[in-house]
Structure 1
Amino acid sequence: MRFFSRNRNVSTADRDEHKVARTALVRRLDFFLMTYVCVSYCMKYIDQQAHSNAYVSGMKEELHFHGNQYNWVGTFFSIGYTIGTIPSQFLTARFRPSVIVPIFEITWSILIMINAAAKNVQLIFGMRFLIGLFESIAYPGFVSVLASWYTPAELAKRVAFLQASSAAGSIGYLQAAIYKGLNGSHGLSRWRWLFIIDGIISLPIAITGFWLIPDTPKTSRAIWLKPHHLEEAEERMKEIGRAPKGTLTIGKVIAVFKEYPAWLIMLCYPPCILAGQAISYFNLYLKSNPSGHKFSVYQVNLIPTGGQALQIVATIVSAALSDYFQARVAMIWIVAGIGMLGHILLSVWDIGFNGQIAGYMLIYCAVGSGALLLTWFSELCSADAEVRTLVIGLANGIGYAWISGFPFIMYPASQAPHYKVGYQMGAGFYAIAITGCTIMALLVRRYGLPYQNVPKSHDRIRSGSSPETGRDEEEKTQGVEEAVNRLSAGSTR
């Protein structure tokens, strides 16, 4: 099938047919792929947040937590996540995501249920490390798969829905229902049932990934995509200069660290992710009876749903605006600025209960900055699929490396809910992220998209331009030039 972009004499009817075909492809991707990644990531986040909900639902007292052991639970998860991120992305780049990702998901679903058998804090530490290790494949892996199918006008909204599904996973209705309905059933405490139910729900979702993850347009075996869908998808990626999957080589790994994105992401993504971690301590804030407001365990699990709902709306709206105006960096500035304002309010602290709640709500609104950043990174690295996967994994891994240590300084459990330096540092981290994004945008504007000269594998050479016409290479070059122009314009809006 040849599309109207290659034939200027094509009829209006053919143009309309072509547009209908592409719309049908996107709808099919949204129905199958987006449904899977959002539901899967929602459950992943429920699993990831289970220790926090269990902690305020009786685990603290039953397992005799003391000192900063609560922080250590999160730290062990972050250490495992950090260690697993780069190797898991190597596996994603080397093998089919439709095989590797579900295997990892099934493993962490089993591990989450093992937490229910904990007799001491040490088992929780070990399980959180292993869960982090296996969960590390999910977010960067999902973003990489989405970037193989969606165009720049579509991608940010999809990554935002993925990000928003994490907020849906945090909504406390499941936790509240377990607290009210299963406490003491079969001799098990409510927090143990929380881990069991999470794992039981996660397992069948993980298994469906074998069929619902489509890999890439060039390698897909998904039964819900027909040959003409794959042809449409390949053409779409060629038109925007987004490279197909090739072979992961040591040369590509070295090439990642030779250009500025590998280093500047440490000034962009990790600070945003770390600053957004303040919302993880919102339930501890509520449990501390702020300003004389006493909340029950049920309410402590339920009240944060307001912030999580706000996070969903803010994440999707900011991404939609970013797609519509093609202004990635400008939207990152705005969202990070909102988060900075929230941290400033909490830094002042003596602003009453309503002011403190407002500060937390503003930080909830800023969590979507991570989705915007990863969307932008995937577009900056569109010239090579494996480099794109590694850069996204690197950003995510470094982010969790920061999370593994900084909470001890920012949010020591002994200071809850008024952290003396945590909120000030959070505001500073958002400022660092804004600065890093500005520098990155200026470099893109000055030097163009990075990773244009990465060593090509044999597979990539075979999939290049046709020796008969050379038109494929010409269109790819035009697509790259247009992408640079869009990114440059977006960074100065």
Structure 2
Amino acid sequence: MRQSQEKPEVEHRESIDDIEKVAPVEELPLDPKMDRRVKLKIDFILMPVLCFIYALNYLDKTALTYASVMGLFKDTGINGTQYSWVASIYYFGYLVGAYPMVIGLQRFPSAKFTAINIVIWGVAVACTALCKNYAGLLGLRFMLGVFEAVIYPAIVMITAEWYKPREQGTRTGVWGSMTAWGCILGGAVAYALVERQTAGTLAIPGWEIVFIWLGAMTVFCGVVFFFFVPDSIEKAWFLDAEEKAVAHRRTLENKQHIGEREWKWYQVRECLRDPQCYLLLFVTICSNIPTGGLTNFFALIVQGLGFTPAETLLLTMGNATLGIATMVLMFAGDKARCRSLVSGLGPLISIAGAAMLWALPAEKKIARLIGFFLCIWNSIATYIITSFITTNIAGRTKKSVMSGAYLVVFCVGNLIGPQTFREKYAPRYAPALITHIALTSTNVCLFVVLFLYYRRENARRDREHGPVVPVKKDEWVDLTDVENETGFRYVY
């Protein structure tokens, strides 16, 4: 099997020296009660912040879809084709920002670097309320994409640093589901503003208030992120010395070293040769082409079913079904120890939803609405892939490269997605739905391939090396999943 030709040198491990003031790492047994106590503390402090900022990340980029039925077209003078490009240009910005953000997270204190970018993108969101033309919308949406590019790799690194592999899928499902819960909040606020706008009691257009409100919330959340989220376990203000040692011991169980800051080119080359990386990226683009369209057009799709603008904004709260499905299926995948097939039921159900939305007659608007709510379950594939990157890609540089590659492919998919929703095919958007069905069906097959690949590779390592060796101090060396055949097994 694949082996790296260059052996990494053992780096100075300051974090290990620090925690060994409590006890040598290999002498720190994971007492179940202490393990649970530390995990609950981590959940209580980190998860609410991650969930809230991820919900805002989604709301900030999808506020455009609320604005589309709240007077944006009239007030800025844009048409349907221009709206598609305003939706797409966000991902051009995301593409430009992807690798600089990954490198910044590698070179600078990760939490502080992330927080500063959150504040900047919050300002960009608030300034969108000042836009009165097509050019202004394009410019601010591009800037928003550049600075929002930080949040995915940042949350992936935090999840990988603080949680065991079998815990990461569930946590990814929790923070990933916040996109849907964000839709509930956004839909409720937008609905209330439309009602007030209709009654003529707003001083400025409702869509401008949405952007100002979201921008202010994002800036506030960035400040909270700066002070609450530590850059590393050693700097965790909410853990004492013994708890930090246990938290490190939990990280050691991952067989992944997060504190490494040296850029290692052999890990870059390994990433380029690793077949699992290409499988994960192929699933990503097949998932994000449909998602990119649905994210920016879901309000127009629902309105096209025959609902008023106010009803449309209220009905978008039904996207909570995605949040529930994401949490349940990701949790079930971890419990069944078969994330690829169990959690992959979401995209399979999405195919049926897209078929209902496309094929049912117009008078069946409730059935088609149900089909729409099922259709958006295809995005669960994104969170499955995210969880595989956190658990199955080891080596700090390799994980960084893979996270950057994911962002690039994510952007390409979301750039293409809005272009499949052409104005002349409204309100049914048949070509977009056919594309959705074809690509999501491909993803279902790819999840089966991933399951077979990971299971076969684990079986080969068991045959050649026996069971996973006990955790030892020297495993803090920054090894990749390919190098560490004796101590690393894939989660599938």
Distance 1:326 1:273 in 2: 25
User: Could you tell me which residue of structure 1 aligns to residue 271 of structure 2?
Assistant: 256
Of the candidates 109, 123, 135, which is equivalent to residue 122 of structure 2? 109
Distance 1:151 1:158 in 2: 10
User: Could you tell me which residue of structure 2 aligns to residue 76 of structure 1?
Assistant: 89
Distance 1:119 1:313 in 2: 37
User: Could you tell me which residue of structure 1 aligns to residue 380 of structure 2?
Assistant: 368
Distance 2:459 2:128 in 1: 45
Within 5 Å, give how 1:62-73 maps onto structure 2: 62-73=75-86
The Cα shift of 1:3 comes to: 9.5
Evaluate the alpha carbon distance shift between residue 79 and residue 471 of structure 1 in structure 2; reply closer, same or farther with a 3 A threshold. Answer: closer
Distance 1:54 1:449 in 2: 52
Deviations along 1:386-430, one digit per CA (max 9) or x if unpaired, are: 32233133213311212112421x211232221131111111111
- Is 1:243 aligned to residue 257 of structure 2? yes
User: Could you tell me which residue of structure 2 aligns to residue 268 of structure 1?
Assistant: 283
Evaluate the alpha carbon distance shift between residue 350 and residue 480 of structure 1 in structure 2; reply closer, same or farther with a 3 A threshold. Answer: farther
Of the candidates 38, 46, 68, which is equivalent to residue 55 of structure 1? 68
Distance 2:193 2:366 in 1: 29
Evaluate the alpha carbon distance shift between residue 471 and residue 445 of structure 1 in structure 2; reply closer, same or farther with a 3 A threshold. Answer: closer
3-state secondary structure, aligned to 2:257: coil
User: Could you tell me which residue of structure 2 aligns to residue 400 of structure 1?
Assistant: 411
Deviations along 1:309-353, one digit per CA (max 9) or x if unpaired, are: 111110110011011111111124322211122222233243722
User: Could you tell me which residue of structure 2 aligns to residue 224 of structure 1?
Assistant: 238
Deviations along 1:20-74, one digit per CA (max 9) or x if unpaired, are: 2211111111111101011111112221111111111001111122141111111
User: Could you tell me which residue of structure 2 aligns to residue 356 of structure 1?
Assistant: 368
Residue identity in the other structure for 1:233:
A
Of the candidates 389, 395, 418, which is equivalent to residue 377 of structure 1? 389
Evaluate the alpha carbon distance shift between residue 189 and residue 321 of structure 1 in structure 2; reply closer, same or farther with a 3 A threshold. Answer: same
The Cα shift of 1:170 comes to: 1.6
User: Could you tell me which residue of structure 2 aligns to residue 174 of structure 1?
Assistant: 189
Distance 2:488 2:339 in 1: 12
Say if 2:286 and 2:443, in contact at 8 Å, map to a contact too: yes
Residue identity in the other structure for 2:127:
I
- Is 1:162 aligned to residue 175 of structure 2? yes
Say if 1:286 and 1:300, in contact at 8 Å, map to a contact too: yes
Say if 2:330 and 2:343, in contact at 8 Å, map to a contact too: no
How large is the Cα RMSD of the aligned pairs? 2.9
Structure 1: tracts of 5 or more residues without a match = 451-463
Say if 2:302 and 2:312, in contact at 8 Å, map to a contact too: yes
Residue identity in the other structure for 2:209:
W
Of the candidates 305, 311, 314, which is equivalent to residue 299 of structure 1? 311
User: Could you tell me which residue of structure 2 aligns to residue 209 of structure 1?
Assistant: 225
Of the candidates 307, 326, 333, which is equivalent to residue 344 of structure 2? 333
Distance 1:325 1:215 in 2: 33
Distance 1:313 1:420 in 2: 27
User: Could you tell me which residue of structure 2 aligns to residue 418 of structure 1?
Assistant: 428
Distance 1:328 1:2 in 2: 35
User: Could you tell me which residue of structure 1 aligns to residue 145 of structure 2?
Assistant: 132
Residue identity in the other structure for 1:440:
L
Normalised TM-score (structure 2): 0.84
The Cα shift of 1:482 comes to: 6.9
Distance 1:360 1:433 in 2: 19
The Cα shift of 1:182 comes to: 6.7
Say if 2:112 and 2:231, in contact at 8 Å, map to a contact too: no
The Cα shift of 1:226 comes to: 2.3
Of the candidates 156, 162, 181, which is equivalent to residue 149 of structure 1? 162
Distance 1:112 1:4 in 2: 45
The Cα shift of 1:284 comes to: 0.7
Percent of aligned positions that are identical:
19
The Cα shift of 1:277 comes to: 3.9
Residue identity in the other structure for 2:244:
L
Worse overlay, 25-34 or 252-261? 252-261
The Cα shift of 1:440 comes to: 3.4
User: Could you tell me which residue of structure 2 aligns to residue 461 of structure 1?
Assistant: none
The Cα shift of 1:266 comes to: 2.7
Residue identity in the other structure for 1:28:
K
Matched residue count: 453
The Cα shift of 1:6 comes to: 5.2
The Cα shift of 1:238 comes to: 1.3
3-state secondary structure, aligned to 1:418: coil
3-state secondary structure, aligned to 1:72: helix
Residue identity in the other structure for 2:452:
L
Say if 1:152 and 1:323, in contact at 8 Å, map to a contact too: no
Distance 2:438 2:370 in 1: 19
Say if 1:182 and 1:193, in contact at 8 Å, map to a contact too: no
Say if 2:291 and 2:414, in contact at 8 Å, map to a contact too: no
Evaluate the alpha carbon distance shift between residue 234 and residue 177 of structure 1 in structure 2; reply closer, same or farther with a 3 A threshold. Answer: same
Distance 1:141 1:32 in 2: 16
The Cα shift of 1:133 comes to: 0.7
The Cα shift of 1:231 comes to: 1.0
Say if 1:243 and 1:384, in contact at 8 Å, map to a contact too: yes
Structure 2: tracts of 5 or more residues without a match = 1-21, 461-470
3-state secondary structure, aligned to 1:368: helix
